[in-house]
Chain A
Amino acid sequence: MRTVSVLSARLVADVREMVVEQREYRELLVRITARDLLLRYKQTVMGFGWAIFMPLVNTAVFSVIFTRVAPIETAVPYPLFAYCGLCTWNFFASTQRFAVVSLTSNTSLVTKVYCPREIFPFSAILVSLVDFAVASTVLVGLMAYYRIPVGWPLVFVPVIVAVHVAFTAGVALFLAMANLFYRDIKYLFEIVLAVWMFATSVVYPIERIGGRLGTLLLLNPMTPIIDAYRATLLERQLPAMGPFAAAAAVSVALLAIAWLLFHRAEFQFAENV
């Protein structure tokens, strides 16, 4: 009984510290994010155009495959289906690509200066969120082009974004931490990302896989999230509540656990970089 109360007291203290630190250092988070955005687009020709370019090229490629080579049925025109999937997936994937090296590429800060280390993966999320916002403008354009009407389920979008960010952040914290201790995580995760994309409803509806593998893939929280975007934005429907609620619960739990672990491991970072 005593151990339980000691542990929960420590948990409360940790959570309070996590929140207080983020508040105290919020300006630093903004600064680091601004720095990363600036660095990303300094000395580039296209600037923010890159945020649009990648999902657009992918959309074109997959449109050729899935409308000409192996046509599939989708509820909305395929390019719209694909772009919606790709730009939401891209937010997740590009966050992870930045987050995985966010601690190791800031070695001088991690070893020489004190600040809550969460800032580095968090800024990776914010940078990708800016790209995501830029890429969404093209989605709006495509919706206008295909004359897709919008309806009241749109009010649900902020909830989806919140769940999406929570899941992304949870994975990002784990990855940043893991790569600090074991540098091969970075390479391993590239492969995982490639497989994960095709295990998610990004460029085709995942139900088409079917069978036992299809059932297994239902466990992937990214699918309900991306499907929820499509339902609310393109089909004027509420997301499928069961899977989405499950994905939301997983995301929040993942973020809570990842953040707590990250916070407790934080003090070993400087010694292990």
Chain B
Amino acid sequence: MNRPGVTFNGVWKKFRRGERHDSLRDLIPSAVRALVRGRSDELAAEEFWALHDVSFDVAPGEALGIIGPNGAGKSTALKLLTRILKPTRGRCEVRGRVGALIEVAAGFHPDLTGRENVYLQGAIMGMKQAEIARKFEEIVEFAGITEFIDTPVKRYSSGMNARLGFAIAAHLDPDVLLIDEVLSVGDARFQERCVERMHALRASGVLLVFVSHNLTAVLDLCNRAVLIDRGRVRFDGHPAAAIQEYRRVTSNRDAGRPADADIHLAGVEVFDDRGRPVQAIDTGAGLTVRIHYKTSRPIERPHFAVDIHRGDGVYCHGTNTHLARLDLGTIDRDGHIDLVIPHLRLLPGCYSLSVGILDTHAVKPHDVQFHAYPFSVTSTCRDNGLVALEHTWRVPDAQPARLSPVRTDRTDRKVALR
């Protein structure tokens, strides 16, 4: 047996749009057509490439996130890995015992009890009877449905159903775990336990492939991410960078250019203190946002704006040159403007910058790019919330030396109550 791993080598997958002929009546004409034309790799009228020459490898211990817009081919890639689909061209291979958290309750039969379904679903996932019997209590306990285990599954709530399915899959002891957007089931506490479980599996050396729209979860769980867009790999690398690229791809597509193109945004760059482009920034570190613009005629006293949103949409900060009472005069040629943030007091997470050029009164936009620059904030600071407020704990009549102040700037990131 080889080392566990995932190989995707030049994989192409063809799908057909529209209705498929289902009736014998249509068989004969289509069979004749197939005979005449022969099997080919060319696309027929109604066909399209769901995956277009996709290649990546995943080594043991890695956690790969697959991100991309809806219909980009993420789930197709995962289905190829689980062998449900076969590539039209190319080779895809998974070595080792595969656990798939895709439609975790697919094998459930509504008329069977929870207990019967655990054994059935376990067998579907490739577990031996003895193994299921051994883990049975643990599974039921994890799902939190001990008192309903002998009730037919048709009487379960959808949450219970999904929880039981996830619990079985999570106890599979796989070498390779494929996950497709299952974290959205159950209540907050159950989700937390799922994430915990996945972290534990990852720590024990299980290879993870994680497909999700939850970018924060990808950032949290994965050490690498692949961005798939319209069936092609657009990016393969650090999750924060992949998310950035993803945001860039989607925002460019969504944001229609305003009619007023006399002045428009020509790009956004973010640098750290030393002038290097960054995608991951430490809490408390300094950064510079550089907004490039192009003009086709002189623009009188425009204003520039920058907004920061967290991955979940929380509006963290917004500022503009109007608020700063900055008069930029008349701009008559291409150039750039910098926003310098000496200390980025944001807690770890996934954020994005939106930038805009506004008119003289900072009301009407000349050009706006939402989520133009996604970035992640990293830190060893374990505080909760959104902002890293500088703080110190002071205990009356105690030795203040025992408590070191929590400082969140770069020079002293090893903060904790020691």
Question: Is there contact, CB below 8 Å, between B109 and A35?
Answer: yes
Which chain B residue has the least Cβ–Cβ distance from A24? B126
CB-CB contacts of A171-200 with B at 8 A, as 1s and 0s? 000000000011111001000000000000
| Residue numbers in A under 8 Å from B102 (CB-CB) | 112-113
In the bound complex, CA of A128 to CA of B298 (Å): 85
Does B83 make an interface contact (CB < 8 A)? yes
Does B22 make an interface contact (CB < 8 A)? yes
List A residues 140-168 near B (Cβ within 8 Å). none
Question: Is there contact, CB below 8 Å, between B128 and A113?
Answer: no
Given A108-B103, A183-B23: A27 and B82 interface contact (C-beta under 8 Å): no
Does A212 make an interface contact (CB < 8 A)? no
Which of B85, B119, B120, B125 is the one whose CB lies under 8 Å from A270?
Answer: B85
Question: Is there contact, CB below 8 Å, between A27 and B85?
Answer: no
CB-CB contacts of B106-127 with A at 8 A, as 1s and 0s? 1101011000100110011110
| Residue numbers in A under 8 Å from B126 (CB-CB) | 24-25, 28
In the bound complex, CA of A272 to CA of B30 (Å): 15
Question: Is there contact, CB below 8 Å, between A31 and B119?
Answer: yes
Question: Is there contact, CB below 8 Å, between B124 and A109?
Answer: yes
CB proximity of A14 to chain B, nearest CB, Å: 13
In the bound complex, CA of A113 to CA of B178 (Å): 12
| Residue numbers in B under 8 Å from A115 (CB-CB) | 124
Does B84 make an interface contact (CB < 8 A)? yes
Question: Is there contact, CB below 8 Å, between A39 and B112?
Answer: yes
| Residue numbers in B under 8 Å from A39 (CB-CB) | 109, 111-112
> Number of residues in A with C-beta < 8 Å to the partner?
29
Counting chain A CB atoms within 10 Å of each CB, which of B24, B84, B102 scores highest? Answer: B84
| Residue numbers in B under 8 Å from A24 (CB-CB) | 126
Question: What is the interface residue range for chain B against chain A?
Answer: 20 to 34
In the bound complex, CA of A42 to CA of B112 (Å): 9
Which of A25, A109, A113, A182 is the one whose CB lies under 8 Å from B27?
Answer: A182
| Residue numbers in B under 8 Å from A38 (CB-CB) | 112, 116
Counting chain B CB atoms within 10 Å of each CB, which of A38, A114, A182 scores highest? Answer: A114
Question: Is there contact, CB below 8 Å, between B82 and A35?
Answer: no
Counting chain B CB atoms within 10 Å of each CB, which of A39, A267, A271 scores highest? Answer: A271
Which of A31, A42, A108 is the one whose CB lies under 8 Å from B123?
Answer: A31
Question: Is there contact, CB below 8 Å, between B116 and A114?
Answer: no
Question: Is there contact, CB below 8 Å, between A267 and B116?
Answer: no
In the bound complex, CA of A189 to CA of B79 (Å): 33
| Residue numbers in A under 8 Å from B106 (CB-CB) | 108-109, 112-113
Does A138 make an interface contact (CB < 8 A)? no
CB proximity of B165 to chain A, nearest CB, Å: 11
Question: Is there contact, CB below 8 Å, between A112 and B84?
Answer: yes
Question: Is there contact, CB below 8 Å, between B107 and A109?
Answer: yes
Question: Is there contact, CB below 8 Å, between A42 and B84?
Answer: no
Does B315 make an interface contact (CB < 8 A)? no
Does A32 make an interface contact (CB < 8 A)? yes
Does B317 make an interface contact (CB < 8 A)? no
CB-CB contacts of A28-57 with B at 8 A, as 1s and 0s? 101110010011001000000000000000
Counting chain A CB atoms within 10 Å of each CB, which of B23, B119, B123 scores highest? Answer: B123
Does B20 make an interface contact (CB < 8 A)? yes
In the bound complex, CA of A268 to CA of B14 (Å): 12
CB proximity of A261 to chain B, nearest CB, Å: 15
In the bound complex, CA of A183 to CA of B123 (Å): 29
| Residue numbers in B under 8 Å from A184 (CB-CB) | 23-24
In the bound complex, CA of A38 to CA of B84 (Å): 27
| Residue numbers in A under 8 Å from B23 (CB-CB) | 182-184
Which of B20, B27, B84, B124 is the one whose CB lies under 8 Å from A272?
Answer: B20
A and B contact pairs by CB, cutoff 8 A, 12 listed: A27-B123, A30-B123, A35-B116, A113-B124, A113-B125, A114-B82, A181-B22, A182-B27, A267-B85, A268-B86, A270-B79, A270-B85
In the A-B complex, list the 7 residue pairs whose CB atoms are closest, starting with the nearest.
A267-B86, A112-B106, A112-B103, A31-B123, A28-B123, A114-B83, A108-B106
Known: A28-B123, A113-B84. 10 other contacts (CB 8 A): A30-B123, A31-B124, A38-B116, A108-B103, A109-B106, A181-B22, A183-B22, A183-B23, A184-B24, A188-B24
